Structure formats: C-alpha cells, structure tokens
Chain A
Amino acid sequence: METELTARAAGLIACHGCDRLYVAAEVGDEGGRCGYCGQPLYSRSPQSLERSAAWLLAALILYLPANLYPMMWTTSLGRMQANTILEGVVVLMQGGSYGIAVVVFVASVLIPIFKFLVLGYLLLSIVRAQPTALSERLRLYRWVEVVGRWSMLDVFVVAILAAMVQFSSVAAVQPGIAVDAFAAVVICTMLSAQALDSRLIFDPCSSSTDWSR
C-alpha cells in the first residue's frame, strides 16, 4: 500500500467497536450492525458537525455565568466574600501559593479557552474543507480530547474545601452558582469534542462528503 488511503475513500467502513472493516456498498444505505460486537456501523459519526457545534455553542453561553458569578463564598470571622474563578486565582497568588495558582489558572481559564478556540477552528476548517494542516489539526484535536476533562479540577477543589471548612461564622466555604455553570461548560466542551469525528479532517474536499452520515 504505497498511497495514503482512508477507509472511507476505499469504500470501507470500520466498526468503531472492534475495528473490523466492512465493504460500505454491502452495508447499504440504512446502515447495519457489526456481526461481531453488535455496534452500529457508520463511516463517520452521524451529524458530527451539527452536534459538535451545538454543544460548543451551549458551552460558550454557559461560560458567561461561569465567570461572572462567584465560584466560592468564603466566610472569615463573620465576613462573607464571594470569589469568581479569576478572583480565586488572584487570592491564591496574593497568598503566595504561586504554583497552585498557576495550576488553577491553567485548568479553569486557559484550558476552556483553548478548547473553545481549537474546536471552533476545527469545525470551521472542516466545513470549509481545508486541505492543509491535516496532522497539525489532528494533533490539536487530540490535545483537546486529553486535556479537556482536567478543567473539572476547580469544581472538585471547591467541593472538598466546602466539605472541610464548615465552622459557621469563624470560617466557612460554600460553593457558588458558578460551580454549576462551570461544570456544565466542561461537560459541554467534552461532548462537543466527542461528537466531532476527527477523521473528517482527512476527508478530501472534492469527494462526496455526505455530512448527514
């Protein structure tokens, strides 16, 4: 095999469950199930772009309350203070915990923004059938896949702090509304990345790329 051929271009469908290859023409238009593992057969994730874009849009909308509303309420000697994600990072830095501040900043600010930019770029590049930067775009996608879940870090941090620090008005930590919104942002971006079939990057622009299948 000297030439670079995708399974789709060769008229084959790979089962996503067990990697077996089927001849697309024999599977037929209404689809079929893999005879070995029982999973439905499809060449590309159905409605991949539509679903991915929808989840990304939902994440973008939720990103506003996630950053504008407080993530954590800290009560110290009777005084209550609300902290958004960014304010929480600043507080950490003021407290001298630079390392932890960087970790939280990366997980809660940089990674979500990175995901928004990359997923948006990937979606646009596939729709415009961009024939260049194939490997680079796949690498970006893989990064998003690997790194995306780690944004949940701050949600767990707030939950653990709240579980440990409950001394009424002397010192208390309570989760804020933003925790809900932020968790939803992470979930939506994960679903967006999951819905996007990275193999679409490699489908040549001139072939019959049927977006509905």
Chain B
Amino acid sequence: MRRIATPPSELLNHLIACRHCDLLQQRQPLRRGEWAQCSRCGAALYQRGDRHHHALPILLAALLFWLIALQLPFLALAGRAGMESEMDLFATVGVLWDQGYLLLALGVALTLLLLPLLRVVGLIYVLTAQRYRFRLPYWKPIWHLTEAVIPWTMHEIYLLGALVAMVKLTTIGDLAVGGAMWAFAAFIGLEVWAESLLNHEVLWRRS
C-alpha cells in the first residue's frame, strides 16, 4: 500500500513539466483563446479551461448519435444478378465471429464500439460528478480509465476503412450509404469537439 505523497508546496504549483520532454517551465496566465505550449518541443501544456463546461452537453449529443448509429443500416449493396446485402455496425463484429476469428471479433468490438462508448460515458459521468461537487463515487478511477482508453478507440479509423471498402464495393454494384454512416460521423465530430474543450486541470484544481 503506497502512502500518499506530501502535498506540493505553493511554489511548485506555479511550475509545470512537459509530459513529452520533461522541461520544467513556469505557468503563465492565459488570455481567451490561448493555450500554453512547451517552449522546447511545442507540445500542449495547458489551456484556460473556461469552456470546459460546454463539453458535457456536446458529449450527451454525441452519445445520442452513437445510439442512433447502432440502430440504422450502415451500408447497402445492390449488385448484379440479385446480389444484395446490407450491414449495420454490429455486422463487422458478427462476420468475424461467424468465420471463427473470435479474438479478432472481440478486438473489433472493443475498438469500434465498446471503448469509444466507455470513453464518452465515462466523460459524461465525471463531468456530471463535477457539477455535483464531486459527490459521485469512483469518479477518479473512472476518469483515469477513460483517459487510458483513448489510444484504443479506433472508430474514426473504421470510418476511413469504410470509405476504402466502399470504393472497392462500387465495382460490384450500386452502393447506398445508410443513416448509420452519418450518425457515426456526427458522433465522431461531436466527440472531437468536446475533447478540444475539455481541460483536465479544471477537475484537479477544484476537487
């Protein structure tokens, strides 16, 4: 059981170390629209965080689109000689599972569906917790989980993959884009927007 480290002194609160190059720098006050950049490697250090509270409604909208995307068809093919097929987002996982690629089906299910959902729901939970003065349980581990999951959410890569697949499919027949495609794109767009407004320091400096 590791003990809690001594809380840092006031002086150290004015400093920040770049996460990528470890350069120790002094925090500066920011004006509207500004964000702090590491003076050595240019990585983002911190932002103002005054639009942090906008993220919650955007994330709720994103979640709504995600749920819509799951109900609607994704792609539909009307080929020659009666070759017709239709798929929704689940079918990507289903076809791998049916072909016997169980581990891969699980991997796609995670990266495409479950982890992006976890991130959005986790963020909604933490932001809601913030609104209720952090009285919701487990918000800290949920936050860290939701951050750890980021590199493993590959839903936007899936969308590009769908575009590549569409080009190949048009050689077989007429392709129709389903509502799920647009809803999914909206989910991605809203999520990216919400992430740009989020400022994790707001969580730590007020809790």
Contact = CB atoms under 8 A, between A and B. Distances in A.
Contact of B8 (A20, A97, A155): A20
Nearest to A31: B2
Given A21-B8, A100-B167, A183-B104, A202 B157 contact: no
**Residue picked from A14, A31, A32, A41, most chain B C-beta under 10 Å:** A14
**Residue picked from A1, A8, A141, most chain B C-beta under 10 Å:** A1
Interface in B87-120: 87, 91-92, 94-96, 99, 101, 103-104, 107-108, 111-112
Contacts of B161: 152-157, 159-160
A115 B41 CA distance: 20
Interface residues of B, number: 68
Nearest to A88: B168
B151 A170 contact: no
Contacts of A4: 23, 40
Interface stretch (A48-56, A57-65, A121-129, A173-181): A173-181
Given A1-B24, A153-B164, A157-B165, A163 B94 contact: yes
A35 B4 contact: yes
Interface string B1-22: 0111111100011011101111
Contacts of A117: none
Given A23-B8, A32-B4, A37-B144, A161 B201 contact: no
Given A10-B24, A179-B104, 4 more contacts: A32-B2, A149-B157, A153-B160, A170-B83
List the 8 closest A-B pairs by CB distance, nearest first. A156-B161, A32-B5, A7-B17, A6-B22, A199-B22, A14-B17, A160-B165, A18-B204
